[in-house]
Structure 1
Amino acid sequence: MKKTLLQACALCVGATSIQAGGLDRSGQGINIIFEEGSVVQLRLGYASPDVSGEQNGVESGDVSNAFFSPGLAYKRSFTDKLDFALIYDEPFGADIGYSADYPLSQNPTAAFGGRSGILRASADVDSLTALLRYKLDGGFSAIGGIRAQRASAKVVVPAAAGYEFDADADTDFGYLVGVAWEKPEIAARVSLVYNSKITHDLSSTESFNVVPPVPAGLQTIDDTTRVETPQSINLDFQTGVAPKTLVFGSIRWVDWPQTVVAPAAYVGIVGDNLVDFDDDTFTYTLGMGYQFSEAFSGAISTSYEKSNGTEVSNLGPTDGFWSIGVGGTYTVENAQISGGVRYTDIGDATTTTGGEFSGNSAWSVGLQLTYSLN
């Protein structure tokens, strides 16, 4: 394994870049395919967001729960021209819970025996990606692969007649394609990768309270709800700019308007989708790494996602962010051990029901171990 600063740079845009304010978690990176020889990689990120606001003078409490973001990858060189990688990550996710006093946590059917609860949502998405990279002449290479993705979700909206949505896990498939160019003499690399949307038909149960003149009670409906996780494009780049110094960065586009959750019963009760998005997002990252010695490298990076200024869902009350992260990598024999920390300033947001969220932030940390099998 080359003892370079590239892993330290990858750490700042990898293990500590989990976006604690939104649904985008891993960034769907594939940098392991560019490692030399055959390697295994283990990554664990942890994010602790602090997101709160108020509606009609009632505090929401801290609505975003802390979460872990694991990653595991294996890369093997079949020949001098053909590489293979297998990557496990959790690209998207949510874990939201409001205070019991919040207006949307109040069930208007409570007087008729309606159930109690809080406004909350959880979504778990994990994926396994198999990809190949074929090296062409002139430093170019072609990248392609398939992605198996599993998704499940649960949402509770007490204000909508005690509504609950519970979707079983479903596995479906997508793909990724891309190109890359490298010039090892100056540590230069540019890669462009497209990730397809993935469509899930979730077996779901919707339940809600009914009131007189209909006999009061709990109505349950079993159905199939179609949900798409969004297509995206990742542009990553790096280049040496001075001895032992590397500049790196990325641009990530995510087509969030593709993601709509519209269970039939909820739409019938409220007249609107349970989850949807008005805007796509562009996330920009820029950083610099420096190799202090043969054994230790460090890097610093900053990321930015513009606030769109449009109303957002109560199940994701954030709008843009900026962040700064630092990381370091220590190399010992065949192993590279990386660690880092990132601070994120989460953008102010107004929800579709008039909730105001401001002054929010998050801390995240990451550990990564890359081991050469050569």
Structure 2
Amino acid sequence: MKKTLISKGILALAASCALTSTALAGGLERGGYNIDLLFDEGRFAAESAVTFVAPQRELNNVTDKAEGGSLTGLPTTAEGSESYWVPRIGAKAAIGDAADCMFDYSEPWGAHKNPGRNWAGANEDIETKVESRNYAVTCSYRFDAGPGQLRLIGGTFYQEVYGFQERLVQAFPAGVPLTGVGRLDLEGDGWGWRAGVAYEIPEYAFRASLVYNSEVKLNDITGTLDLTQVNSAIPGAFGVNGSQNMPDVVELKVQSGIAPGWLAFGSVKWTDWSQFQKIPFYCNVAVSGVCNTSTAVTSLDLGYRDGWTVSGGVGHKFNEQWSGAVSVTWDRGTSQDFGTQTDTWTLGVGAAYAPTKNVEFRVAGALALLTGGSSNTVVIDGQTYGQRANYTFDDDLAAGISTSLKVRF
């Protein structure tokens, strides 16, 4: 099989389908990490992409479990998800005949829930939003090895993570109820690195890659906790701090031509979400009647387990301009009987149009089944979760669409 029988559009579509499915994965995953542009055959290439995801997750049978408070009588259903956008942009350049380097901007992590104040689980969440920015440089060096080429990959990235949470806070000092909305604002940043290896046989459009992305140590997460709506005696928001590592990720990708104009592709990815349990935050300085510097004043409760994502698909070249691909992805839910991160099954389809050899347009869509379950009061590794609200949720659907433009010369 000759290399010319495999359309470059098919190779790119495999990445587009994967990008859309990644945005529907569990944990705090949004765009994830993607270095496929590094393998582009052009000496120079630039690519931009954006993915829109619209999940539909409805919470039912909500019961308030907060100690001392009762929200009985408020609605027992709520929307448990918000739509979001995931942008990505990158540029790659060949250096000599054997080296390549790329720079990319992405937003790998994120989350947004906005059930509002008027539901029976407001003690657990009114609104939570997490966002990220990732700036990366990745390079590779390749050399002949057997019938193909071996490529060594390395790089570094700088990451910023920020967000907030609002929830109802109820306190009962001396039997006098105090109720109000508390807001936690946080931000942190850190550095990570990646290393990997790939083996390519261009004649058969074969490539196998294994890449490790390190954790990012957010050793100095800082922010503010505002409880002024809970207790008017508190003069204003006060500083808090904490720490948390963003997860390390290992991903194996394989693709190969299987017939003239046909390509099969697949991947397996592990993400270390299990380190996201209770994330405590402490006062920077002691605040009388509220907190000291040695005891956590609040925490973000996640209770995750490791994430696994398995994907496979096939692509076909219809003619010199058009290619298509279809993929199926399974993502293991990261929740452990607390939260809504259950297993997800995703069907992705895509098309690529190349009006010239230097320009390529792609669009990919995905429809996902979010399996049902429940969020209960549970103990994970000695820590209690779900003590503020319990609820159930049925099987739900999510949809996503990704568009991209690549220019090479």
TM-score by length of 2: 0.81
Residues 33 and 340 (structure 1), Cα distance of their counterparts in 2 relative to 1, 3 Å cut: same
2:215 is equivalent to residue 197 of structure 1: yes
1:294 counterpart SS class: coil
Distance 1:174 1:47, change over 3 A: same
Name the counterpart of 2:204: 186
2:361 corresponds to 1:325: no
Distance 1:142 1:100 in 2: 52
1:112 is aligned to none
* 2:140 paired residue number: 133
Give the match for residue 185 of structure 2: 166
2:33: which partner in 1?
28
Aligned partner (choices 228, 231, 243) of residue 245 of structure 2: 228
Contact 1:160 1:270 in 2 (8 A): no
Asked if 1:300 is matched to 2:317, the reply is no
Which amino acid in 1 is paired with 2:362?
Answer: S
SS of equivalent to 1:105: coil
Alignment length, in residue pairs? 357
Q: In the alignment, which of 41, 47, 65 is matched to residue 47 of structure 2?
A: 41
Work out the CA distance in 1 between the residues paired with 2:271 and 2:170.
30
Q: Aligned partners of 2:87 and 2:242: how far apart in 1?
A: 28
Please state if 1:152 is matched with 2:162: yes
Secondary structure of 2:107's aligned partner: strand
The percentage of aligned residue pairs carrying the same residue is 24
Please tell me the residue identity of whatever aligns with 1:343. Answer: L
Q: Which of 267, 275, 280 is residue 301 of structure 2 equivalent to? A: 275
CA distance in 1, matches of 2:226, 2:355: 56
Do the aligned partners of residues 23 and 309 (structure 1) sit closer, same or farther apart at CA in structure 2, a change above 3 Å counting?
A: closer
Q: Is 1:119 paired with 2:119?
A: no
Q: 1:67 to 1:17 in 2, by over 3 A?
A: same
What amino acid sits opposite 2:56 in the alignment? D
User: Judging changes above 3 Å, is the alpha-carbon distance between structure 1 residues 211 and 321 closer, same or farther for their aligned structure 2 residues?
Assistant: closer
Bigger CA radius of gyration? 2
Q: Counterpart of 2:379?
A: none
Q: Distance in 2 between matches of 1:160 and 1:234?
A: 44
- Quote the residue 1:206 is aligned against: 225
Q: Structure 1 stretches of 5 or more lacking a match?
A: 108-117
1:207-239 CA distances to partner (integer Å, 9 max, x unpaired)?
336989xx8556643122212211111111101
Q: Secondary structure at the match of 2:280?
A: coil
8 A contact 1:208–1:218 mirrored in 2: no
State TM-score, norm by structure 1. 0.88
Please state if 1:52 is matched with 2:52: no
| Contact 2:310/2:331 (8 A) holds in 1 | yes
Whether the aligned pair in 1 keeps the contact of 2:28 and 2:110 (CA below 8 Å) is yes
SS in 2 for 1:32: helix
Per-residue CA deviations over 1:119-163 (Å, capped at 9, x if unaligned) read 110111110110110103311111000001111110112145533
After the TM superposition, which segments of 4 or more aligned residues of structure 1 sit over 3 Å from their partners? 57-60, 159-162, 209-212, 215-220, 265-273
Residue 94 of structure 2: aligned partner: 77
